[in-house]
Structure 1
Amino acid sequence: MSRSANTALYSRNFLLLICAVVCMSIGYATLLPVLPLWAVRGGASEFVGGTMSGLFMATTVLAQLGTPWLSRKLGYRLTLALGCLLLGAPAPLFGFITDAEPMLVLSAIRGIGFGLTTVTGSALVAELLPRHELGRGSGLQGVAVTLPQLVGLPAGVWLAENWSYPGVFWLTGIVPVLGCVPALLLPRLSGQLTPPGGGRPIAQLRALLGPWLAAFAVGLGYGAVVTFVPMSISTSVLVLLAVGSAMLLGRWASGVVADRMLAPGQQLPAGVLLGAAGLAGIALAIAASSGWLAVLAGALFGLGYGVIQNDALVVMFHRVPPYRYGLASANWNVAIDGGYGLGAVLIGAIVTGPGFVAAFGVSAGLLLAVLLPAVVVARRVRRTAAPERDDSRDVALDRA
């Protein structure tokens, strides 16, 4: 039987997970750049628009921290379904309000739902697949997240401006709720955080620090891009399309490379450099009023973002035992989404002062600051991978 026929990547359960993730991501990504525009259109400042994104991610992070515990109580499938419901159900209500306070409340509720879906979605990749397929599995799950972003980020802005803001709100409410169906068809699985004989959670958290920093810094840059590119660049729809396309390519390619190299973590330095160059390029594009430079810079950032997303998650899974997959997933999601939320608020504060050029320049500098931890992760992976390759070769020679 062929290798492709034996792979768990095409199993019923993994495909059900992908369907649920796609529904969730459509609701998340399509509304992401629209809500700040809706708030500003209603008379709020750019800072309030950024705060909406920041509050969404703040409650996302809080939910992510509690998801491993909740998944042990309810199981992964019920937790995933609950997340889809909380993410989608409040969305149509935005069409009936323009005041900042109720919009912030709805954003907070949706953030809780998004937090539940992100952690369970990532953890289920490791639960449903063998370790040697985690790179491609994470990459495929990343495609399921990123492809709706590729379409949804620019389409959300275009549909809102040229069709109807309330129509976008209804669309992004219905689709995530539909994701409850494949989620509930998944098998009964629940996260186990502690083994029967105990564990070493502090040491395992320390092992996740390097990839966590890279994921957090690139998430911060993504928060700046999604929230403020539509406000500062005339070709914002094309820029967001470039970011999503390159993110899709970067995440899938990173997964394939990780499985073939058997050394997840080695791609982090390249991802940091690509992402920082992209953010710096966006700053230059705004200063020069160059829409096409902004598109190219967005592609560079998206490529780096995709590489870091996938490689950081896979190396986290490889650094913990199976009973800590929920912990690794929660930490990775907190890094990505916490960085996004802080980026929306922090960069929003800079925008109201020095302006957009300085804001994206700071984003690039913050990402570049984690290059050293990324290099340390890659070097440690090389040192541990080399003996494994040598042992395999020795075994092959002995058998020969």
Structure 2
Amino acid sequence: MTSLACEPTAAVRLRPGRLVTAQFARLLLVIFGSGLSMYLLTSVVPLYLAASGAVALVAEVTPAARRREALGVYGVVVGLPAALGLPLGVYLTGVVGFETLFVLAAVSSLAGLAVLPGGPACVTDEEHHVKVLGGLRGSGLLMPAGVFAAVTLAAGISVTFLPLASQDHKLVAAALLVQAVTAPGARWVAGWLGDRIGPRRLLVPALALAALGAGALAFVGTPAAVLGGAALFGIGFGAAQNLTLAIMYDRSPRSRYGQVSALWNLAYDGGWGTGAILFGFVVAGIGYPTAFALTAAIVALAIGPAVRGVKSA
């Protein structure tokens, strides 16, 4: 029998030549530049948030009576780029091409720098230099930070593993879009209501919605459950973002706003990353439906501390 090994034919036989051509070099520069622009900031942004307080400044420059609504508006602006950019980027590649899209992305990044000189100054005086984990006992900050970490744990799991758990890519895309759109809206509404009735009264319902939404993913084979769960979780997750942060600011003096911002971001990033890592080990042993149900149970357990925190306030 004639061998079918990978013997190159005359038509495709490799010919020696220069490896890094002009076109290949340009491609490598694009890849290097885009990657460097992201990774330069990946480790620096958390440090900047801790030092300047990118959320504490919201509390500094807005009226105290409308602080929760201001945090909600901030949340909408933070969430809109994901809700708009993810689907819009894919669409625009077929309309204007990759090169034009890269230019648009660069312009949108630089546009923010134009207004930076007139923005609020970062907090740098010694009074505001508080350790992130210092003096937490009796501060009232541990409950909202821990509760929020439980919700972000579920958020990291849904975004990371829903595409792997479902074979219906259109359904997954729709669910993630629903979650991305509902979260900023809920964050603003929660802030608006929080200014009027207080954030503590809204935290337990927000956690309940997040738990129900996370639990719906256990029925990952049912489109209605996945879409409905994404909507419920997006509402609960967005509301929890605003409410926990507002509670933490309400319980802290102005001199600790930087610590509040850093601690809240630590709960956000820590919960998100921990959920994505641990879920991978859990799902290997019990499967996606049971693992999603377990995630919902973790969020539901956070309702207990939230209830006790509301009663003791």
TM norm structure 1:
0.61
Q: Which runs of 5+ in 1 are unaligned?
A: 1-91, 98-102, 382-400
Query: Equivalent residue for 1:133?
Result: 66
User: Kindly, what percent of the aligned residue pairs are identical?
Assistant: 31
Q: Which residue of 2 aligns with 1:276?
A: 211
Q: Which residue of 1 aligns with 2:13?
A: none
* Aligned residue type for 1:144: V
The answer to whether structure 1 residue 311 and structure 2 residue 243 are counterparts is yes
Say if 1:378 and 1:138 are closer, same or farther in 2 by CA, change over 3 A. Answer: same
Q: Give the structure 2 partner of residue 232 of structure 1.
A: 165
The answer to whether the 8 A contact 2:128-2:257 is kept is no
| 1:96 is aligned to 2:31 | yes
1:108 deviation in Å?
5.4
- Kept in 2, the 8 Å contact 1:157–1:237? The answer is no
- 8 Å contact from structure 2 (residues 139, 251) kept in 1: no
Summarize the Cα distance change of 1:358–1:109 in structure 2 as closer, same or farther, 3 Å threshold: farther
Q: Is residue 291 of structure 2 the alignment partner of residue 356 of structure 1?
A: no
| Cα deviation 1:192-221 (Å, max 9, x = unaligned) | 46379xxx9515674100100111011111
1:245–1:187 Cα change, 3 Å: closer
User: 1:253 — aligned with what?
Assistant: 189
Alignment check: 8 A CA contact 1:242 1:299 kept: yes
Distance change (3 Å), C-alpha of 1:110 and 1:203:
closer
Q: Which moved more, 1:202-211 or 1:123-132?
A: 202-211
- In the other structure, the counterpart of 1:376 is 308
The CA deviation at 1:313 is 0.5
Compared CA separation, residues 128 and 163, structure 1 to 2 (3 A): same
- In the alignment, which residue of structure 1 is the partner of 2:227? 295
Larger CA deviation: 227-236 vs 335-344: 227-236
Contact 1:146 1:248 (8 Å CA) reproduced = yes
Query: CA separation of 1:195/1:187 partners in 2, compared to 1, >3 Å: closer, same or farther?
Result: closer
Query: Match for residue 43 of structure 2?
Result: 112
* CA distance in 1: counterparts of 2:48 and 2:84, whole angstroms: 20
For 1:194-209, what aligned pairs fall within 5 Å after superposition? 194=127, 201-203=134-136, 206-209=139-142
| Deviates further, 154-163 or 326-335 | 154-163
Residues of 2 paired with 1:225 and 1:94: CA distance? 34
Shift of 1:326: 0.5
Decide whether the 8 Å contact of 1:207 with 1:319 is kept in 2: yes
Residues 9-28 of structure 1: pairs in structure 2 closer than 5 A = none
Number of aligned residue pairs: give it: 278
Residues 27-176 of structure 1 mapped to structure 2, 5 A cutoff: 96=31, 109-116=40-47, 120-155=53-88, 175-176=108-109
Q: TM-score, normalised by structure 2?
A: 0.76
C-alpha change, 1:320 and 1:237, in structure 2 (3 Å) is same
Residue 282 (structure 1) shift: 1.3
Give the structure with the larger helix fraction.
1
Give the greater-gyration-radius structure (CA). 2
**Range 204-213 or range 326-335, more displaced:** 204-213
Shift of residue 371, structure 1, vs aligned partner:
1.1
2:124 & 2:57 partners in 1: Cα distance?
A: 9
Q: Which of 179, 191, 214 does residue 112 from structure 2 map onto?
A: 179
CA deviation digits over 1:126-169, x for unaligned, max 9?
A: 11012111111101101111222222344457778999889877
SS for the counterpart of 2:180 is helix
The amino acid that maps onto 1:298 is A
Distance 1:160 1:221 in 2: 32
The residue aligned with 1:327 is 259
Q: Which amino acid aligns with 1:208?
A: L
In structure 1, which of residues 259, 266, 269 is the aligned counterpart of residue 201 of structure 2?
266
CA distance in 2, matches of 1:134, 1:282: 34
Rounded Cα–Cα distance in structure 2 between residues aligned with 1:136 and 1:337 = 23
Of the two structures, which has the highest relative contact order with CA contacts closer than 8 Å and spacing of 6 or more?
A: 2
Per-residue deviation, 1:266: 2.1
Q: Secondary structure at the match of 1:342?
A: helix
Distance 2:29 2:157 in 1: 23
The whole-number CA distance in structure 2 between the counterparts of 1:345 and 1:106 is 25
